[in-house]
Amino acid sequence: MDEVLKTAKHVAAKSQAVALDKEALIRFCRKRLQQGIKVPPWDDRYHFCGGKEETVAYLLVLDSLNFCFWPPLGSLRWEIEDELGKLSGYYALATSLKRAVESGVPITEAEYLAELSLDQIKQILGGQGVLQLLEDRLKILHELGHVLLEDYGGKAHHLVETAEGSAVKLARLLAEKLSSFRDTADYQDHKAFFYKRAQIFAADLHGAFGGKDWGHFADIDKLTAFADYKLPQVLRQLGILRYTRALAQKVDQKILLESGGPEEVEIRANTIWAVELIRQELDRMGKGLRAFEIDQILWHLGQEAVFKKKPYHRTATIFY
């Protein structure tokens, strides 16, 4: 998306607390090529995959709630028990919603979302530990249900149809219609665009449907990285992102960064721009990958212990 990439480049050039190490970036690209690059496939173990229209609705609910899985200091991480073992974070969310759909809870129906209660969402998600911003999650589902009812006949796939096979148009449409997808920030008198969850919805449709049907987008290559807290953690461990001492101390001591504050915006923007530079470098090396595929590779690396040596930055936000 042009607005996301352009503002990420602008913020990266102006950043004071975050810097990009291009030599480390090149080393990473060379090493990955030597080891062999494989894009992680869509994993149906954690995701609902049923009727086509119902799957679209499931994914929209999933990506509406796909944010902030880390626990407040002193609290236990939210996790669930599943036949796959103990799951936390995104996998716990995807699996909880999958189980709800398969057990007949109508979370794919707009009418149900619009009237959902706090007790009901707690029961749907279940598990142990603390999942932050639960009341915000409820408001998001209420808004989603009402917008679908008012503008799209209550059907998520009608919203997707409005994008006319464009991932970019779909992301912009979500940001226009739903406040929780309006992921922007002000930085030095300029607006920075991120659209993390709006973009990831298009990518998830692409993954779930194998690039066909509801997942076919002619401009899927225009998506950028999805700026969250796991990717910068990985990029920092790789030496690609470098923080000033003051910022590094805040992140390492798990001090909350202000949502929309300059340090948080710089981390997210530099993450997007770093992935774009990785994409360009790999292309020069003869390996053509799309930004969202590089994002998936980095995110899966972030599940490995070696990339968890240093903490991720913490911002209490609904956007990631």
- 237 CB burial (10 A radius; 0-12, 13-18, 19+): middle
Q: Give the whole-angstrom CA distance, residue 67 versus residue 139.
A: 14
What is the separation, in whole angstroms, between the first and last Cα of the chain?
A: 18
d(CA 111, CA 76): 33
Residues 183, 228, 252, 283: which is the catalytic one? 228
Q: Is 90 left (phi over 0), alpha (psi -120 to 50) or beta?
A: alpha
Maximum C-alpha span of the chain: 53
Contact, 121 vs 45, CB < 8 A?
no
Residue (of 218, 228, 220, 162) closest to 195 by Cα position: 228
For residue 96, give the H/E element and its range.
Answer: helix 89-102
Phi and psi, residue 59, nearest 5°: -65, -35
Q: Specify the DSSP class assigned to residue 164.
A: T
| DSSP character at residue 310 | S
Dist. CA 251–CA 256, nearest whole Å: 8
Whether 252 is catalytic: no
Find out whether 78 and 128 touch, Cβ atoms under 8 Å.
yes
Q: Which residue numbers are catalytic? A: 228
